A and B are shown apart, each in its own frame.
Chain A
């Protein structure tokens, strides 16, 4: 068994509250090895020194203070970081949404250019409508002319006096 093995057993013996006695193999090694015995003496001295310190109960206020500065502080600080990221995400979302909406609102829809055939058909249809409208206008002109010829000119040509409206009323 090497010195490293012995020292590991020495540490284990001190970690276990000295409930079990030091193994015989360690005791035999300590009688022959000065370095390992020195380690054993240091640990033994530290153990006795710690045990000799007065036991002071921790006040409740101190416990609360420790609790506040550790656990609660950590809990309180924890949401701040996610809150910042949530706000940043919301701002980003609104920005992207606004930009996309503005793009769709302001960008004119792709204009469908009618084909030559569609244009020719539309032009012919429009010409037909214009033609009917022009004929209705011509009919109106003709009717007005006929009325004048019949009611005003023809009696005058025939020598029939047309009563003046003002005289007719009187």
Chain B
């Protein structure tokens, strides 16, 4: 027997789990790519891009800069937070079309539409993805034609909407009172 054969067999056997591990980091079903929204946003104006995953969310769940227990438990169950917030460049039609198109596509993919509000100047869509009676994805699409502000927000992971709403209501984030639908 060729003495190098055991080495080759060992390499193949040990290489398999390593190769398999590379594919295990795929996105969860609640993830939605916001690249199209990012492309619509004007780079010359203020942009907020949020990409929080893995280690950062775990650190926030352990305490981080926030000692709120509700926030910690929300972070502990989330897999990712992605968001694009900015001012749309060019005409509003493209942004309105993208919001509606994304809303329709997500519904076609099995997402549930929680709300879709459309008035004279704004569009709001809120959708959730459910697996085994648990919400594992949430998308908020907000666009206001008056100031051309576009918001795409996606949370992936186990989501407690009630707790999330309570946390959001408690926060004093400047400018949120200008969001369409806010009272």
Q: Kindly supply a per-residue 1/0 record for chain A positions 129-140, scoring 1 wherever the CB is within 8 Å of any chain B CB and 0 otherwise.
A: 111111111111
Instruction: Give chain B nearest CB distance to A87 CB in angstroms.
Output: 5
- B66 x A138 contact (CB < 8 A): no
Instruction: Give chain A nearest CB distance to B69 CB in angstroms.
Output: 14
The number of chain A residues with a CB under 8 A from chain B is 42
Q: Kindly supply a per-residue 1/0 record for chain B positions 49-62, scoring 1 wherever the CB is within 8 Å of any chain A CB and 0 otherwise.
A: 01010011001100
- State which residues 62-85 of B face A: CB under 8 Å: 64-66, 71, 74-75, 81, 83, 85
Stretch at the interface among B37-45, B93-101, B103-111, B174-182: B174-182
Determine whether B126 belongs to the interface, using a CB cutoff of 8 Å to chain A: yes
Q: Kindly supply a per-residue 1/0 record for chain B positions 135-150, scoring 1 wherever the CB is within 8 Å of any chain A CB and 0 otherwise.
A: 0001010100000000
Determine whether B35 belongs to the interface, using a CB cutoff of 8 Å to chain A: no
Stretch at the interface among A51-59, A113-121, A153-161: A113-121
Chain A interface SS verdict (over half): helix
Determine whether A162 belongs to the interface, using a CB cutoff of 8 Å to chain B: no
Determine whether A43 belongs to the interface, using a CB cutoff of 8 Å to chain B: no
Q: Kindly supply a per-residue 1/0 record for chain A positions 70-107, scoring 1 wherever the CB is within 8 Å of any chain B CB and 0 otherwise.
A: 00000000000000001101110110011001100100
Known: A87-B3, A112-B55, A136-B142. A123 touches B64 (CB 8 A): yes
- A94 x B10 contact (CB < 8 A): yes
Q: How far is A131 from B166 in the complex, measured between Cα atoms in Å? A: 10
- B10 x A139 contact (CB < 8 A): no
Residues of chain A within 8 A (CB-CB) of B176 are 131-132, 135
- A136 x B169 contact (CB < 8 A): no
5 more CB-based (< 8 A) A-B contacts, given A122-B64, A142-B183, A143-B117: A97-B10, A128-B85, A129-B81, A133-B153, A134-B168
- Our count of residue pairs bridging A and B at CB distance below 8 angstroms stands at 154
Q: How far is A139 from B56 in the complex, measured between Cα atoms in Å? A: 30
Instruction: Give chain A nearest CB distance to B94 CB in angstroms.
Output: 21
Residues of chain B within 8 A (CB-CB) of A91 are 6
Determine whether B132 belongs to the interface, using a CB cutoff of 8 Å to chain A: no
Look across to chain B and name the residue whose beta carbon is closest to the beta carbon of A123: B65
Look across to chain A and name the residue whose beta carbon is closest to the beta carbon of B64: A119
B168 CB contact (under 8 Å) in A97, A122, A130, A140: A130
The 3 A-B residue pairs with the shortest CB-CB distance in the complex, in nearest-first order: A134-B168, A139-B181, A140-B115
A133 CB contact (under 8 Å) in B59, B65, B140: B140
Look across to chain B and name the residue whose beta carbon is closest to the beta carbon of A115: B59
